[in-house]
Structure 1
Amino acid sequence: MPPRRRRLLKRAVLILVLLIVALPLAGWFALRGSLPRYEGEVRDAALKQPVRVERDALGTVTVRAQSRRDANWALGYVHAQERYFEMDLLRRRAAGELAELFGKAALPIDRTVRAHRMRARMARAFATLPPEQRDALDAYRDGVNAGLADLAVRPFAYLATFNAPAPWRSEDTLLVVAAMAFTLNDAEDKRELAFSRMHAALPASAYAFLTASGGGWDAPIAGAPLSWPEVPPASELDLRTLDPALLRGSHGVTDPRVPGSNAFAVGGALAGGSALVANDMHLDLRVPNLWFRTRVVYPDARGAGGMIDVTGAGLPGTPAVVAGSNGLVAWGFTNSYADTTDWVRVERDPNDPMRYRVPDGWATTEKHAERIHVHGGDDETIEVEETRWGPILAKDADGTPLALAWVAQQPGGIDVNLIRIEASRTVDEAVAVAQASGIPPQNFIAGDKAGSIAWTIAGRIPKRVGGFDPQLPADWSQAGTGWDGWEPESLHPLVANPPWNRLWSANQRPVEGEALKIIGDGGYDLGARAAQIRDTLRAHERLAVDDLLKIQLDDRALFLERWKDLLALELNRAPPSALHDAMKQILAGWNDHASTDAVAYRLVRAWRGEVVDTVLDAFAAAVRKPFPDFALPKLPQSEQAVWKLLGQRPEHLLPPGTADWDALLVATIDRAGLKLDAQPGGIAARTWGERNTAHIAHPLSRGLPAFVARWLDMPYEALPGDTHMPRVQAPDFGASERFGVAPGDEAHGYFMMPGGQSGHPLSPYYGAGHADWVHGTPTPFLPGPAQHVLELAPSH
């Protein structure tokens, strides 16, 4: 090789080596540049007085301020530095603006969400907030933007997606609350749309049988279990006559994953003085976690030299401590499954399709062009047609246009009044604030230092008038029909200091009669989980904080006991085979828990799923006859219907092509067994932990190389627990926080959280505390000693 070419080759190799070394180093330094500021001093003209921000070993943030307004600014600063990307995702999720970050892949989500026009609604909502709420959000906004500007490099997620963060607006906090409404409510009201088709296709007896609100598994806080409707007679419905081609399998109907939660409280008479409150909110899990360990301390504006000192789960994007304790009152939430939506039938004027009938004649719809910005692509514009009730988003079973009325879209449906709860001194004060707050309607459970406890519905409840069926689309063009504002707080159902001294909420039907009519039925959970909590509370005459954690971590498989017994019975009846013998042997090892090593639990659960899906799909097939694309909605109460059928075994309600109920059960046994046996190691190797392995991921990890994704994600670990038991757990779903506390004795409480405090992978708080959450090891409720202190001060 000529010397010149040799020199050029050496130079090229040297440059390549330098690039190989320099690029990762540049990336590393860029990543470090977006680390939050944990120590030192920050000055800003927006602050009135100095604020001290402390972080303990888990990254728990303690904000010590001289006013709540300064605390709002400080929380905004801290949230932006630790979690700006996640805050951005929440506001964009509610506004339908994800494609601006992620490109065309996010367009399907944005198209659906943008139809609600939440950004415009929340801008109007902000303008009508009381002055103190607007001031709080303005201060928080200024803190967020100051914290973002104070990062040397933009947050790493924006580097990875080739984006720049947009500034925070005051109304963005309301969008974060709206994002929670999208999570906790069925914003598309698919359930009611499906019910409309079921109502049109099925006889009344079959419709009532499938859509009832409760039955034998009910565990209301007050009231009795409901009676499940009778089995439809053969004279009205014979499923055997259907074309078998209409069957689909309906997978996913059994135990749908729905946002839920557990909350329970024990009165002071059973707890030795102060009440006890426990809460674990079940949501999709991600890295970092939704919640933010937070303590806020500032003088009580009511005077007398007192201090507000509140600790609990903060929500980045808002300055609120959503659930926790202030030393006098502790509180928590579960999703209420109140009925928050209604479809309204829109009768158009045949001569002018822009006009529609209303009680006082005709009104004209408004059309809005919503422009969706697409990162790396062309913008897209969708047209949204609005009525006085809400946007037109669907069609009824007969083709009539439907407008959606939704609590979150209504004036007053979303605000930040909940911040006031941290100043509550008694349960009664906390209840009053919760009932008057603009949040997605939630079960609210609270207890105070004096020993009082209470349950109510927090958030706005629509006042329905006119006697229409809220489970089906209705005509609101008649005078006196529809929503007439909000139910007054005085009519919110309330159970306070019951004689039994215990309250429990696990997304079940909570009450009965008129109280239930006010709340409505938005799809209550079965009640098995609530019953397990209730019965364990009843089994104790004295309870302490440690007992709360034992209940939250209870993974006993009580719900599947009868299914295990039925499987054993059917296996003994079934024709002998090697697979059936293996299943019998596995079943003999039943250990009563959804433990990670349990094979029998996984087997019974899989078989139940096959049975429920098979039985329900026959009813769905009857609806597919007139509506070929029909899919069953989420039917959390379907266990009641299926078990009644298994008890009575009516021949006319068998799926088409099925000889008898014994044949159905054997076929489902074989399907469940063969699916498990086909996997490596055979059926005997199918532990519950193999299926229920944590996969709690960062939002970006799906699009990154595997070695980077594993670095960003939490460890893949087998987890105990499942749906119908207190320890709700799926690979990426479960307790997004878990706490138990006696107000006034927070030092002996606990607060656990998956995924860690910080959103920055180089932060010492990225994943901190996650192992305690996995293993159920109690982490102290109160922050520990400060490891880092950041001083915030006025610049004037």
Structure 2
Amino acid sequence: MKILKKILIFLILTVLALVGGSYAYLQYLKPSYEGALLLPDLKEKVEVNFDDYGIPHIYAQNEEDLFYAFGYIHAQERLFQMEVLRRLADGRLSEVFGEAAVPSDKFFRTLSFREHAKLTLDSVYKDPSSPFVKAAKAYIKGINHYQKVGKTPIEFTLAGIPKSDFTLEDMEIIVGYMGYTFVGAFKGEPIATDILNRLGADYYHDVMDAWPEGEYKIAVDAKESGALALAKMAKQVNDISDNLPFPPFHGSNGWVISGSKTKSGKPILSNDTHIAFSQPSVWYEAHLECPGFKVYGNFLAGTPVPALGHTDFGGWGLTMFENDDADFFRETLNPSNANQVKYKDTWENMKVRNERIKVKGKSDVLLDVKKTRHGYILNEAFDGLINEKNPIALWWVYHQFPARHLEVFYNICKSKNAGDMGKAVAPLTSPGLNFMWADTTGNIAWWAAGKLPIRPKHVDPEVILDGASGLDDPQGWYPFALNPQILNPQSGVLYTANNQPADMGNGLVPGYYVPANRAKRIGELIINSRTDWTEEEVRKVINDVKSSTYPDMVASIVRGLGGAKLSNAAKENLDLLSKWDGTHGLKNVEPTVFYKVIYQIYKGALEDELGKEVFGDFEHNFSFKRNAAKFFENDTSKWWDNKNTTAIEKRADIFKAGLETASLDLKKQLGDNKQNWQWGKVHTIEHKHPLGILPVVGKLFNVGPIAINGGRETINNLDFMMDSTGTYKVTYGPALRRIVDFGTPRKAFSVNPTGQSGYFMSKHYSDQAQMFAEGGKRPEYTEKTDVMKNKKGTIVMMPL
């Protein structure tokens, strides 16, 4: 008995030692916010002060030291994020995550970001004395030095990821991946072509019109088999996107209010970029300062200059332009040579590149990447499509030019006025971005930047084009002066919410613009006679959760029912919705009912024609979402008739069935007590880490779930996929909410969805999550006296 007791005590002590040792090791891996470092090749002393949210404020004596130090500091918080992102963009996830990542790797190898990066380095980076080139090299050197001497992130150990030096090519492929996430064509054109080819023009125009007449536009200064193959590709692309370890962009809000309308007498800039949520958060904040360079901004992992930011002179925000910068061409293969396609009267050789994808625990996967004059052939990357008779080529503006992103954003950081800013953004090629600008001299401006192709007049870029005839090929490029833009509008306000820009004189720019809901609501709130706007009042707008559009859709349902006889439950729910003002608060019951009802209406109207799989994707399609309100008013649409029944259904029949089915589902899901129907009980947000899928320990890496207000296309845009479950798990929304009053540019305010740190044991991993959910804010310090007052740690870097 004594022996057993001793053995038991020994086992308990061993377990405690292992637990204690593991805990101590995890504590050791926390990022360092105090200490002294010796860095080889550093020229002068650098001081890094961390504020109360773990944000670094880096002070150096020259730019190369500044970016060298920043690379090191950025890597200590986000090295795993950088590593996953470059592997994702390069098609190398399978090396560490195994066979499940092969579809993603095949797709991104085909997009050829590495090849494009080489082109960019050979041209844009050819002058080693260019300040932005020096900055990039110094930043990469900082990342690599951290990899050599810093702590290895726990994710590298758990996933067995080997370390390797970062390069300028890696930085460029990361930028390429972010450009891909903006491409709306992958989700829009396959379904559009399928509807047009299979169902006809009437069906197509009822739900896919480019931009409904009368909808809000951004004001400007005026001066066949192929379809089926592409639809299959689209489904696989959506599956890949849903499981990406780094989130794609989805949209954004941004507006600027002139000093003539603010209490400070200077412009106020507001911006919230909409990105799929993940953990760690997308943006990393930092304040960089040395003689001749000072900026506070938001940085993507692996990039040295901020995509969003402000200085003592001015600041900028961005949203997705949503212009259509990608087309799909149906190529005609030579029956006698699988590496040739027809172009006019000749057979042209495709360029072929052989790729080998290494797969952890499995044999290598071989991939032939083929390219025509129109672009890379996509079929090779997808299951079951290699032998398609008419392969699909991707023509993408991004592939047509060397990338200029780093140069553009570096020059933005140096801009002191609207003139500088306009010159800085002009060289951008792809993806298209809306840049909003405000400065301390009082200017406000907006540019839709990106290369705009001149397409033949007969071309509808929302459907697959013919590669063989040559008649559908782009014919050149519009000059930047014809890009949508405006400087100091008379209204004193400008805004963009991914909606269609107005005509600059060369026609509307084709694109995948989102519904006008947010644009309409922003206009309602900021276009008025008010002249006392403050940061606090603007923050009420950025957190607004009211839809002006959805009550109109409810009114359409009421009119469309035409007095149809309803059950008591359906009557009660319709009466509830009829009194709704569109607010999506945590305690509101109406949103829970509304989304259930419109999902059932969409399902009843569309699923019989589209099929279950296509309907699941189409329900979230931007073109359909922006046409939904108009569609509800169209009582003659062919979509209302259910092809699976002998009867001929009318709009009233689908509305009634949708309302009745939704009422039954709500009762079954949530019970009779409508207190349990509150929006906060079904609408939640969870920030998921790539390792969050691991059993047991995975929960340590995820943040949430947290009940949250907002909804689809409210200004506080917290979107979700709709299905029959009646639960609405947020997929994307604001990746930050930042507001700068240029009366006091050194006292800007922002909030991050979770936290600054990428390490789950850090207190800054999720210290803003609840603040974000509640619509709160915290300061962005740029004045050194403020930084020192709120300093929580200092790292001093000295030359070795």
TM range (shorter): 0.7 to 0.9
Match of 1:243 in 2: none
Match of 2:110 in 1: 115
Match of 1:148 in 2: 147
Secondary structure (helix, strand or coil) at the match of 2:161 reads coil
Match of 2:741 in 1: 742
Offset at residue 166 of structure 1 (A): 2.8
Kept in 2, the 8 Å contact 1:191–1:634? The answer is no
Offset at residue 369 of structure 1 (A): 2.3
Matched, 1:39 2:34: yes
Offset at residue 89 of structure 1 (A): 1.6
Kept in 2, the 8 Å contact 1:217–1:526? The answer is no
1:613–1:507: structure 2 CA closer, same or farther, 3 Å change rule? farther
Matched, 1:687 2:678: yes
Corresponding residue to 2:175 among 177, 194, 197 = 177
1:434–1:116: structure 2 CA closer, same or farther, 3 Å change rule? same
Match of 1:638 in 2: 624
Corresponding residue to 1:49 among 44, 49, 68 = 44
Match of 1:650 in 2: 636
Matched, 1:20 2:15: yes
Kept in 2, the 8 Å contact 1:334–1:505? The answer is yes
Give 1:422-437 correspondences, 5 Å limit. 422-437=413-428
Q: Deviations over 1:354-413 (max 9, x none)?
A: 222346944311222222222333332222222233211148999522211112333324
Secondary structure (helix, strand or coil) at the match of 2:251 reads coil
1:587–1:349: structure 2 CA closer, same or farther, 3 Å change rule? closer
Offset at residue 474 of structure 1 (A): 2.5
Letter in 2 for 1:110: D
Of stretches 694-703 and 137-146 in structure 1, the one that deviates more from structure 2 is 694-703
Paired with 1:297 and 1:93, the residues of 2 have a C-alpha distance of 32
Secondary structure (helix, strand or coil) at the match of 1:780 reads strand
Match of 1:409 in 2: 399
Kept in 1, the 8 Å contact 2:515–2:627? The answer is no
Offset at residue 107 of structure 1 (A): 1.9
Match of 2:693 in 1: 702
Kept in 1, the 8 Å contact 2:93–2:101? The answer is yes
Kept in 2, the 8 Å contact 1:407–1:413? The answer is no
Secondary structure (helix, strand or coil) at the match of 2:687 reads coil
Kept in 2, the 8 Å contact 1:435–1:492? The answer is no
Match of 1:246 in 2: none
Corresponding residue to 1:365 among 327, 341, 350 = 350
Offset at residue 585 of structure 1 (A): 6.5
Match of 1:63 in 2: 58
1:678–1:63: structure 2 CA closer, same or farther, 3 Å change rule? same
Secondary structure (helix, strand or coil) at the match of 1:791 reads strand
Of stretches 568-577 and 525-534 in structure 1, the one that deviates more from structure 2 is 568-577
Of stretches 731-740 and 777-786 in structure 1, the one that deviates more from structure 2 is 777-786
1:718–1:571: structure 2 CA closer, same or farther, 3 Å change rule? farther
Kept in 2, the 8 Å contact 1:174–1:414? The answer is no
Paired with 2:622 and 2:653, the residues of 1 have a C-alpha distance of 26
Offset at residue 122 of structure 1 (A): 1.7
Paired with 1:379 and 1:261, the residues of 2 have a C-alpha distance of 40
Q: Deviations over 1:670-689 (max 9, x none)?
A: 12112221124346222111
Of stretches 672-681 and 483-492 in structure 1, the one that deviates more from structure 2 is 483-492
Letter in 2 for 1:724: E
Offset at residue 261 of structure 1 (A): 0.5
Kept in 2, the 8 Å contact 1:61–1:294? The answer is yes
1:630–1:769: structure 2 CA closer, same or farther, 3 Å change rule? closer
Paired with 1:443 and 1:737, the residues of 2 have a C-alpha distance of 17
Letter in 2 for 1:20: V
Corresponding residue to 2:708 among 694, 719, 728 = 719
Offset at residue 565 of structure 1 (A): 3.5
1:168–1:14: structure 2 CA closer, same or farther, 3 Å change rule? farther
Match of 2:727 in 1: none
Offset at residue 632 of structure 1 (A): 4.0
Corresponding residue to 1:339 among 324, 330, 340 = 324
Letter in 2 for 1:88: E
Structure 2, unmatched stretches of 5+, are 222-237, 243-247, 380-384, 720-729
1:458–1:652: structure 2 CA closer, same or farther, 3 Å change rule? closer
Letter in 1 for 2:190: L
Kept in 1, the 8 Å contact 2:739–2:748? The answer is yes
Matched, 1:195 2:180: no
Secondary structure (helix, strand or coil) at the match of 2:295 reads strand
Corresponding residue to 1:617 among 607, 619, 626 = 607
Paired with 2:637 and 2:156, the residues of 1 have a C-alpha distance of 60
Corresponding residue to 1:670 among 657, 660, 679 = 660
Matched, 1:500 2:495: no
Match of 2:201 in 1: 204
Matched, 1:791 2:796: yes
Secondary structure (helix, strand or coil) at the match of 2:549 reads helix
Give 1:729-768 correspondences, 5 Å limit. 729-730=718-719, 731-743=730-742, 745-768=744-767
Kept in 2, the 8 Å contact 1:328–1:744? The answer is no
Letter in 2 for 1:374: V
Paired with 1:587 and 1:200, the residues of 2 have a C-alpha distance of 37
Offset at residue 480 of structure 1 (A): 7.9
CA RMSD of aligned residues (A): 3.1
**Matched residues, percent identical?**
24
Corresponding residue to 2:569 among 574, 579, 586 = 579
1:323–1:479: structure 2 CA closer, same or farther, 3 Å change rule? same
Match of 2:306 in 1: 321
Kept in 2, the 8 Å contact 1:194–1:633? The answer is no
1:382–1:740: structure 2 CA closer, same or farther, 3 Å change rule? same
Kept in 2, the 8 Å contact 1:445–1:453? The answer is yes
Give 1:106-505 correspondences, 5 Å limit. 106-130=101-125, 131=127, 132=130, 133-152=132-151, 154-186=152-184, 189-216=186-213, 218-222=215-219, 259-271=250-262, 272-300=264-292, 308-358=293-343, 361-394=346-379, 399-413=389-403, 415-417=405-407, 418-437=409-428, 439-464=430-455, 468-476=459-467, 482-483=473-474, 486-505=477-496
Letter in 1 for 2:49: E
Offset at residue 436 of structure 1 (A): 1.4
Paired with 1:344 and 1:577, the residues of 2 have a C-alpha distance of 51
1:293–1:14: structure 2 CA closer, same or farther, 3 Å change rule? same
Letter in 2 for 1:329: G
Offset at residue 696 of structure 1 (A): 1.5
1:615–1:540: structure 2 CA closer, same or farther, 3 Å change rule? farther
Matched, 1:99 2:94: yes
Kept in 2, the 8 Å contact 1:493–1:515? The answer is no
Secondary structure (helix, strand or coil) at the match of 1:94 reads helix
Corresponding residue to 2:536 among 522, 532, 546 = 546
Kept in 2, the 8 Å contact 1:287–1:713? The answer is yes
Offset at residue 495 of structure 1 (A): 1.3
Paired with 1:266 and 1:110, the residues of 2 have a C-alpha distance of 44
In the superposition, the TM-score normalised over structure 1's length comes to: 0.86
Secondary structure (helix, strand or coil) at the match of 2:196 reads helix
Structure 1, unmatched stretches of 5+, are 225-251, 301-307
Paired with 2:699 and 2:252, the residues of 1 have a C-alpha distance of 28
In the superposition, the TM-score normalised over structure 2's length comes to: 0.86
Secondary structure (helix, strand or coil) at the match of 2:98 reads helix
Corresponding pairs, count: 743
Paired with 2:19 and 2:526, the residues of 1 have a C-alpha distance of 55
Match of 2:771 in 1: 772
Kept in 2, the 8 Å contact 1:190–1:633? The answer is no
Paired with 1:398 and 1:88, the residues of 2 have a C-alpha distance of 35
